[in-house]
């Protein structure tokens, strides 16, 4: 597998510390609001990475945090806590907000076929460990107290800016956003490990610590959770490119100073989803959620398909027109596949050839667009029989996650007529605002393993496949 490594600024062969075992960490969501489809682009690409690694023979252990404390409105430790703001706005407690949006996040992931990482840990569940790390950092003279807060002194490191390659534009986030700096810091770039004398009076969640009652900074949670769940040596760490600085830069600083050795060898970053030349973000007010997509009549997997057609290191410009044409192509693909009936004997050399091509695309810095081309080539190839084609499609879909086989549009399914009748009845109920009855039909079918998907072209159904 060859991947672009942000740490070395080039495409490199991916070689984990232990052959065939990959320890993978993903920065999870800040659960103060619904995830937008920009956030979810990052999670889709990370999901593809995990599945591609597994497909090409690795055993992957993956962990992810849930940020429910400490992430301020500016990534450079100023502004106010995003969770607290949301709780005040929605008149709920921080923990209620966190629980609600965490559930919503995983529901969105499910709709996009994003697998849940093996280990998930909330920032608030590991406070004792952050305290232990911070104590050690103070002892080793990497951290200091000032104005009641504990800071990391970035001048103690030889190459604090290695991840950004000293790119000046990336290093001045705080300055660019015009936020005021804490005068108590030794250096402008120093970052907070623990807030005690907080200027945020209404900070709801606080913990006792040797440094005073307070709460952890955002960056320390990923260092803590990663080390706790995956150990002292990490193979690959993922996130969106806006995480490179300061978040990931600070994670490296803390982790390696605490551990006393190199921590993570590969850094995988996903480019942004843009809307009209601006990054999709809540603060810019240009967000679209999975619920919005559903309300607009789109199948969420059409968005996954759209992401797979572009490279993870290229900006993806979102427009509804682009999504519409992705959906058309996706539904056309599903239709084509649904026409294939299982016949013929297994042709193993054809299977291996195409499978090899598919893997070669994935190993080429996760070239998902080329992997899709291999799929189209399979469909076009008259030299292989339907049985082998279906085997290949089913196999590729382990990585692509597009429900390629389980979506039915035609009359091949044995209960097709009956299902279509129920879909019609449900549509009538919905038209007459009888939502309980409509949901009843959905639930009845779900209990039989048949899931309904509402698209602009009408409702289709898919059969849940058991692996």
Q: Which residues contact ligand AMP by CB under 6 A?
A: 27, 29-30, 38-39, 41-42, 67, 239-240, 242-243, 270, 272-273, 279-281
For residues 265 and 271, which CB has a smaller minimum distance to ligand AMP in the complex? 271
Residue 30 binding target from ligand AMP, Zn ion, none, CB below 5 to 8 Å by type: ligand AMP
Is residue 268 a contact partner of residue 26, using CB atoms and an 8 Å limit? Answer: no
Total residues interacting with Zn ion, rule: CB under 5 A: 2
Report the residue from 222, 234, 323, 337 that binds Zn ion according to the rule CB under 5 A: 222
Q: How far is Cα 361 from Cα 35, in angstroms, rounded to an integer?
A: 29
Pick what 216 binds: Zn ion, ligand AMP, none; C-beta below 5 to 8 Å, kind-dependent. none
Per the DSSP assignment, residues forming a β-bridge with 145 are 150
DSSP-assigned letter for residue 275: E
Return the exposure string of 307-324: e unless at least 16 CB atoms fall within 10 Å of the residue's CB, then b.
Answer: bbbbbbbeebebeeeebb
**How is residue 264 annotated by DSSP?**
E
Instruction: State the binding partner of 39 from ligand AMP, Zn ion, none, CB within 5 to 8 A by kind.
Output: ligand AMP
Q: Using the minimum distance from each CB to ligand AMP, give the nearer residue, 304 or 462.
A: 304
Q: Which does 406 bind (CB under 5 to 8 A by kind): Zn ion, ligand AMP, none?
A: none
For ligand AMP, give the closer residue by CB, 192 or 419. Answer: 192
Closer residue to ligand AMP, CB minimum distance, 221 or 407: 221
Pairing state between β 149-152 and 143-146? antiparallel
Contacted entry of Zn ion, ligand AMP, none for residue 450, CB cut-off 5 to 8 Å set by kind: none
For residue 239, the minimal CB distance to ligand AMP (Å) is 4
Residues 177 and 258: beta-carbon distance below 8 Å: no
Q: Select the binding partner of residue 222 from ligand AMP, Zn ion, none (C-beta < 5 to 8 A, by kind).
A: Zn ion
Asked if 62 and 26 touch (Cβ cutoff 8 Å), the reply is: yes
The nearer residue to ligand AMP, 243 or 338, going by C-beta atoms, is: 243
Residue 273 interacts with, from Zn ion, ligand AMP, none (CB under 5-8 Å by kind):
ligand AMP
- Residue whose C-beta lies closest to ligand AMP: 240
Find the shortest distance in angstroms from Cβ 293 to ligand AMP: 15
| Interface stretch with Zn ion, choices 79-87, 177-185, 217-225, 364-372 (CB under 5 A) | 217-225
Nearer to ligand AMP, 75 or 454 (CB): 75
Indicate whether 127 belongs to the interface with Zn ion (CB under 5 A): no
Q: Which two tokens stand for residue 171?
A: 């290093």
Which tokens is 85 given?
């703001």
Q: Least distance to ligand AMP from the beta carbon of 272, Å?
A: 4
Q: Which two tokens stand for residue 46?
A: 């990370």
Q: Is it true that the peptide bond before 207 is cis, omega within 30 degrees of 0?
A: no
Least separation in angstroms between residue 279's CB and Zn ion is 18
Q: How far is the CB of 33 from ligand AMP (least distance, A)?
A: 8
In terms of CB distance, is 243 or 368 closer to ligand AMP?
243
Q: Are 161 and 249 in contact (CB under 8 A)?
A: yes
Which 3 state secondary structure label does DSSP give 11? strand
Q: Give the separation between CA 224 and CA 177, rounded to whole angstroms.
A: 28
Using CA atoms, how far residue 367 sits from 235, 247, 308, in Å, is 20, 27, 9
Q: How many CA atoms lie within 13 A of 344 on its CB side?
A: 15
Question: Taking CB under 5 A as the criterion, which residues in 7-36 touch Zn ion?
Answer: 27
Residue 305 corresponds to which tokens in the numbers above? 């398909």
* 3-class DSSP assignment, residue 138: helix
Phi (first) and psi of residue 195, to 5 degrees: -95, 125
Among residues 222 and 234, whose Cβ is nearest to Zn ion? 222
Nearer CB in complex with Zn ion: 237/311: 237
Angle between helices 94-111 and 82-90 (to 10 degrees): 100
Q: Nearest approach, Cβ of 218 to ligand AMP (angstroms)?
A: 9
Residues that bind Zn ion (CB under 5 A): 27, 222
């Amino acid at each position: 597998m060859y991947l672009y490594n942000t740490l070395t600024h080039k495409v490199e062969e991916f070689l984990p510390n232990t052959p065939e075992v990959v320890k993978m960490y993903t920065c999870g969501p800040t659960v103060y609001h619904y995830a937008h489809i920009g956030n979810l682009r990052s999670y889709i690409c990370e999901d593809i990475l995990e599945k591609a690694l597994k497909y090409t023979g690795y055993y992957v252990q993956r962990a992810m945090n849930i940020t429910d404390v400490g992430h301020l409105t500016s990534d450079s430790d100023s502004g106010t806590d995003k969770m607290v703001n949301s709780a005040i706005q929605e008149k709920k407690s921080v923990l209620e907000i966190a629980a609600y949006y965490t559930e919503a996040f995983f529901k969105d992931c499910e709709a996009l076929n994003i697998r849940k990482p093996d280990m998930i840990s909330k920032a608030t569940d590991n406070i004792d460990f952050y305290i232990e790390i911070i104590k050690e950092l103070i002892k080793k003279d990497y951290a200091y107290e000032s104005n009641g807060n504990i800071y990391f002194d970035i001048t103690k490191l030889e190459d604090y800016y290695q991840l950004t390659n000293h790119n000046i534009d990336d290093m001045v986030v705080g300055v660019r956003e015009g936020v005021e700096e804490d005068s108590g810091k030794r250096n402008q770039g120093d970052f907070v490990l623990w807030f005690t004398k907080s200027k945020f009076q209404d900070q709801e969640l606080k913990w006792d610590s040797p440094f005073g009652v307070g709460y952890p900074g955002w960056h320390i949670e990923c260092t803590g959770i990663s080390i706790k769940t995956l150990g002292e040596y990490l193979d690959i760490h993922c996130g969106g490119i806006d995480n490179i600085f300061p978040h990931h830069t600070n994670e490296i600083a803390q982790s390696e100073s605490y551990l006393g050795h190199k921590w993570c060898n590969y850094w995988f970053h996903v480019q942004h989803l843009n809307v009209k030349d601006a990054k999709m973000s809540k603060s810019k007010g240009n967000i679209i959620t999975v619920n919005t997509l559903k309300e607009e009549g789109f199948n969420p997997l059409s968005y996954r398909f759209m992401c797979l057609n572009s490279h993870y290191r290229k900006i993806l410009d979102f427009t509804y027109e682009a999504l519409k044409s992705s959906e058309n192509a996706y539904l056309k693909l599903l239709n084509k596949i649904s026409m294939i009936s299982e016949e013929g004997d297994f042709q193993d050399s054809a299977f291996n050839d195409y499978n090899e091509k598919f893997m070669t695309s994935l190993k080429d810095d996760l070239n998902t667009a080329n992997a899709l081309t291999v799929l189209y080539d399979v469909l076009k190839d008259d030299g292989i029989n339907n049985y082998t084609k279906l085997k290949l499609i089913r196999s590729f879909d382990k990585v692509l996650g597009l429900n390629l086989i389980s979506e039915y549009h035609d009359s091949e399914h044995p209960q097709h007529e009956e299902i279509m009748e129920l879909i019609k009845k449900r549509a009538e109920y919905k038209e007459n605002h009888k939502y309980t009855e409509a949901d009843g039909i959905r639930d009845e079918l779900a209990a039989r393993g048949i899931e309904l998907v509402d698209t602009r072209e009408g409702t289709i159904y898919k059969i849940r496949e058991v692996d």
